[in-house]
């Protein structure tokens, strides 16, 4: 049985297709439309469906929309009931001038209720081959609670058969934080924290105050925090209150009354901004540690699974790993709303078909390569048509490693695209970490803020020798301190606080990627490369060969390695 999962209510629109417990394909809409996050999380865009991502999933399975047995949508409009979505005061300074969205809940919820009809009739003309003639989709439709979808995406693809589950984001229907217990093929909700109390919205609020785009740039605040001090930690502590039963409340406050006018985009960063970011980050970490302790006390589980946009905060994740009570922590690599497409599909699949007390139904998610791929023949045909000069490589890993050892920067395009926000060796920009100037060079190429770090990928077998207490970390969701005796050898990936957001890779996850790093190690003695996303500022990660080649020729890369071919400047 095919089950299609869809996320479309807020942002990070995505689709995932599962069949009898197996993931077939998953992708975000932004990769096809070139609109970052697919759309903005405002009520006027709720109707927009991830048509291109859905079409890709169907194409991968060789089916049409009519062949899909069930559809799981990761938001339940009936779960909103008396809780407003766009009239909450917490949104006033985030989305628009106060009260501008009052009255829009009705259209927001109606858009969601009419999603089956929109999918059936609203598809773009060029996608009709697989989307036309789908029939009455409402009969196949299931609305799945948003935080249940997050929790399912965390537990069912995890390596565990029993685990506590924590979900934290801006908000779902009402919940902003969810506590669950997963066992076998079941997922049981223990408690929720509801609006208007939201750690995710608190982080968004400060993201906006610091001059960034909320629901998009929170990761920049996390990076900025490393340059600050906890000067304003007591301010945050004064408004965050931990209660009983895993509950917390957050008092409303105006940052401008505390610290003066907010920073505007492109204003210079002052120490004030660094210190606010640092204080916010510390407040988040200490609050979530208390929530995690409550969840552990309730479950006694050894393992913790996490999802929700806040779970993409890799610094917080490392604090939970190192200071929390759980022995093992696993975070869904597509922890943001995109991952709810997978979670909704897997939750419905397990509910319909899994034996509660039987063997594990879903497969562990050991990699993220669930997106589109293109053959050598397809890529070569496009390059010939586009009159693009190219050469064929006969030992991709060895020849590419030699280029990297010359301190050149390459774009790397290999195999199926990643699902989730991280580039993990399929659509990456790669460079040597040996030259300390490399971080600045890459930030210049990508037109990024100077304070932004770049991340390392390291051979899994060598990780502990280069990063303190490094564990298997294939999804770049935890930071580790760089070993003191290695700091001078890989300065480009060592952030100002001495840590790095590490990706480990083994030969099973991505054989060619592993081989490339091994060849670089043979040449330099360093089993580490810089890995950052293959895109430029404001653009999603590249998807198609056309995307890759356009990005290459409009950016100062030295080479593009695309499947078996190389383009050089």
Neighbours of 216 (CB within 10 A): 16
Cβ atoms of 27 and 372 within 8 Å: the answer is: yes
Task: Name 39's Cβ contacts closer than 8 Å, sequence gap at least 6.
Answer: 11, 13, 29, 45, 48
CA distance 234 to 58: 51
Phi, psi of 25 (to 5 degrees): -160, 155
Environment class of 136 (CB within 10 Å of its CB; exposed 0-12, middle 13-18, buried 19+): exposed
CA distance 516 to 528: 10
Report pLDDT for 85.
66
CA distance 566 to 432: 18
DSSP 321: H
Report pLDDT for 92.
44
Regions in the chain scoring below 70 on pLDDT? 81-103
What does 20-54 look like in DSSP terms, one character per residue? TTEEEEEEETHHHH--TTSS-SSGGGTT---HHHH
**What residue has token string 């929700």?**
308
Report pLDDT for 42.
86
Query: For the segment 300-321, what is each residue's pLDDT rounded down to a tens digit?
Result: 999 999 999 999 999 999 999 9
Number of H helices, E strands in the chain: 20, 22
Phi, psi of 458 (to 5 degrees): -135, 145
Q: Model pTM?
A: 0.95
């Amino acid at each position: 049985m095919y089950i299609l999962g869809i996320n479309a209510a807020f942002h990070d629109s995505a689709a995932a297709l599962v069949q009898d417990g197996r993931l077939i394909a998953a992708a975000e809409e932004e990769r096809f439309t070139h609109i970052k996050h697919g759309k903005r999380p405002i009520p006027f865009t709720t109707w927009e469906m991830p048509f291109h991502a859905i079409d890709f999933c169907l194409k991968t399975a060789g089916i049409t929309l009519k062949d899909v047995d069930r559809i799981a949508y990761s938001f339940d409009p009936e779960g909103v009931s008396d809780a407003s979505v766009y009239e909450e005061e917490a949104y006033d300074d985030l989305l628009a001038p106060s009260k501008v969205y009052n009255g829009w809940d009705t259209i927001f919820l109606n858009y969601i209720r009419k999603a089956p009809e929109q999918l059936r009739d609203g598809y773009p003309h060029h996608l009709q081959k697989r989307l036309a003639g789908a029939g009455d989709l409402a009969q196949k439709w299931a609305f799945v609670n948003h935080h249940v979808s997050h929790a399912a995406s965390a537990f069912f693809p995890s390596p565990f058969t029993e685990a506590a589950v924590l979900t934290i984001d801006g908000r779902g229907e009402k919940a902003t934080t969810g506590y669950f217990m997963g066992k076998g093929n079941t997922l049981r909700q223990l408690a929720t924290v509801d609006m208007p109390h939201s750690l995710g919205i608190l982080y968004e609020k400060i993201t906006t105050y610091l001059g960034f785009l909320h629901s998009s740039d929170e990761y920049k605040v996390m990076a900025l925090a490393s340059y600050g001090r906890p000067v304003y930690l007591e301010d945050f502590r004064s408004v965050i209150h931990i209660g009983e039963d895993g509950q917390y409340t957050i008092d409303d406050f105006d940052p401008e009354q505390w610290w003066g006018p907010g920073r505007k985009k492109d204003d210079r960063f002052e120490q004030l901004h660094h210190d606010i970011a640092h204080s916010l980050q510390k407040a988040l970490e200490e609050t979530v540690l208390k929530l995690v302790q409550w969840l552990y006390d309730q479950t006694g589980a050894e393992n913790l699974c996490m999802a929700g946009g806040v779970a993409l905060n890799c610094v917080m994740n490392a604090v939970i790993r190192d200071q929390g009570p759980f022995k093992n922590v696993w975070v869904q690599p597509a922890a943001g709303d995109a991952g709810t497409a997978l979670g909704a599909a897997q939750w419905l699949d397990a509910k319909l078909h899994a034996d509660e007390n039987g063997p594990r139904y879903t497969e562990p998610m050991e990699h993220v390569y669930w997106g589109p791929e293109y053959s050598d023949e397809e890529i070569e045909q496009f390059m010939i048509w586009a009159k693009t000069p190219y050469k064929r490589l006969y030992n991709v890993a060895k020849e590419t490693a030699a280029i990297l050892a010359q301190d050149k920067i390459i774009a790397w395009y290999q195999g199926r695209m990643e699902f989730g926000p991280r580039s993990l060796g399929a659509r990456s920009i790669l460079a040597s970490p040996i030259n300390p100037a490399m971080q600045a060079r890459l930030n210049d190429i990508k037109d990024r803020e100077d304070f932004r770090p770049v991340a390392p990928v390291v051979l899994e077998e060598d990780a502990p020798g280069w990063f303190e207490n490094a564990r298997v970390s294939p999804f770049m969701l935890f930071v580790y301190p760089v070993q003191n005796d290695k700091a001078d050898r890989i300065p480009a990936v060592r952030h100002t606080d001495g840590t790095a957001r590490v990706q480990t890779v083994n030969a099973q996850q991505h054989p060619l990627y592993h081989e490339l790093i091994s060849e670089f190690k043979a040449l330099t003695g360093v089993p580490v490369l810089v890995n950052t996303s293959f895109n430029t500022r404001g653009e999603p990660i590249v998807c198609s060969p056309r995307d890759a080649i356009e990005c290459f020729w409009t950016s100062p890369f030295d080479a593009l390695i695309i499947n078996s071919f190389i383009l050089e400047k």
